[in-house]
Amino acid sequence: MRKRIAILLAALLFLVLASISLRVGAVPVPLRELWASLTLQDSPASYIVLQYRLPRVIVAALAGFGLAVAGVILQSVIRNPLASPDVIGITKGAGFTAAIVIFLFPGAPSYVLPAAAFTGAVGALLILVLLSRKMTLPPSSFALVGVAVGAVFQAGIQYLLVKHPSDVNMALLWMSGSLWGRGWDHVRLLLPWIAVLLPVAWLGYAKLNVLQLGDEGSAALGLNVPKQRLLLLLIAIGLTGSSVAAVGSIGFIGLIAPHMARLLVGGRHQWLLPLAALIGADLMLIGDIAGRVLIIPREVPVGITTAVIGAPYFIYLLRRERLKAA
């Protein structure tokens, strides 16, 4: 019962945040006009809402889903509470290859971008697997190696930015992630990936639950551990790669959304996955709304606000882990 209420509340919060996100900004849209502008083409605010804010909210939600679910899968498969696409450098790898496509092949068709980001994410994970002795390192060493891999990819992104000078918003998009200028194009780019991978991930909940028992336990229950682990990792990487291709390497969502969800509904993945996805989208929207209303008409990229929310939570997490270990 409690689980249902938690998911319901998160969904409700999502709707509230989405409508706030449609309303606020450089041009406020009153609540009364919001519905009109969504349904009627010729109402005064409809252009802003339909062409700018609605796609932006959708992209934010989809990317939040993707990153949070990828975080849940990574934490469960690697059995490492500190793992997440951004901590272990996967988002930076995806961002690096996406930046290569954007800056070096500006004429490439749009479907190339998520594929490139996916390749980069796979590359980063491969490097990580090789460096961490097939993921046998203790959790925090593993996370630290991932941080360093991310730093090297980050240097690569920065190199591309210097080599191809562009404006500040573009640069921030690829350094910390941003929803600036995201439109229907990006919805079309992101939607198929998320729409396919999210249900597939949810259908894998039983395997994720079994994997919590450890390798021997899972094998004894009849699970082909290496194969399932690889499949689940690929789903996580697909989600990460497509999200990064759309919004850049936004940090901390993939790390803290799963933890918040786990606090609320425990470790069963049939509940954990949807709740984490909703919380991820909620966090994205909160970050985006805060970023847009702090200094109108400029905007703080969502990657910065999520870091400001997420970094203290991460430190709290580390402290709690330490207390548990002691």
Partner 1 sequence: MRETSPYKPVKQKRQALLLFLFAFLALALGFFGNLKWGQAHVSLLTLYEAVTFQGEDKAHLYIQTLRLPRTITAAIVGVHLALAGLLTQLATRNPLASPHIFGINAGASLAVVSGLVLVDGLSLFGSVAFAFAGASLGALLVWALAGSQQQKQYVRLALAGIAVHFLLSSLTEGMIILNQHSTDSMMFWLVGSTSEAAWDDVAALLPFTAAGLAALTAMIPSFRLLILDDAVAAGLGGRVALVRSVAVLLVIALSGSAVAICGPIGFLCLIVPHIARYLIGEKLTLLVPLTALLGACLLIYADLISKFIAFPFESPVGIVTAAIGGPFFIYLARKQRRNAA
> Looking at beta carbons only, is 131 or 231 nearer to partner 1?
131
Which of these segments, 17-25, 115-123, 138-146, 189-197, binds partner 1 (CB under 8 A)? 138-146
Q: Is 303 in the site for partner 1 (CB under 8 A)?
A: yes
Q: How many residues does the chain have?
A: 326
Nearest in space to 209 (alpha carbons), one of 268, 154, 259, 161: 268
> Looking at beta carbons only, is 48 or 137 nearer to partner 1?
137
Give the start-end residues of each E strand in the chain: none
Minimum separation from the CB atom of position 11 to partner 1 (A): 29
Q: Which two tokens stand for residue 199?
A: 């249900």
Q: Is 274 in the site for partner 1 (CB under 8 A)?
A: no
Nearest in space to 258 (alpha carbons), one of 38, 72, 86, 112: 72
> Are the C-beta atoms of residues 292 and 25 closer than 8 Å to each other?
yes
Contacts (CB under 8 A) with partner 1, residues 233-262: 251-252
Q: How far apart are CA 294 and CA 67, in angstroms?
A: 25
Minimum separation from the CB atom of position 104 to partner 1 (A): 13
Contacts (CB under 8 A) with partner 1, residues 46-105: 82
Q: Is 172 in the site for partner 1 (CB under 8 A)?
A: yes
Which of these segments, 20-28, 134-142, 187-195, 230-238, binds partner 1 (CB under 8 A)? 134-142
Residues 6+ apart with CB under 8 A from 121: 85, 90, 91, 93, 94, 237, 240, 241, 244
Q: How many CB atoms lie within 10 A of CB 220?
A: 11
> Looking at beta carbons only, is 80 or 243 nearer to partner 1?
80
Nearest in space to 5 (alpha carbons), one of 229, 278, 225: 278
Q: Which of 8, 9, 155, 220 binds partner 1 (CB under 8 A)?
A: 155
| Whole-angstrom Cα Rg for the chain | 19
Residues that bind partner 1 (CB under 8 A): 82, 131-132, 137-138, 140-141, 143-145, 147-149, 151-152, 154-156, 158-159, 161-163, 165-168, 171-172, 175-176, 251-252, 295, 298-301, 303-304, 307-308, 311-312, 314-315, 318-319, 321-322, 326
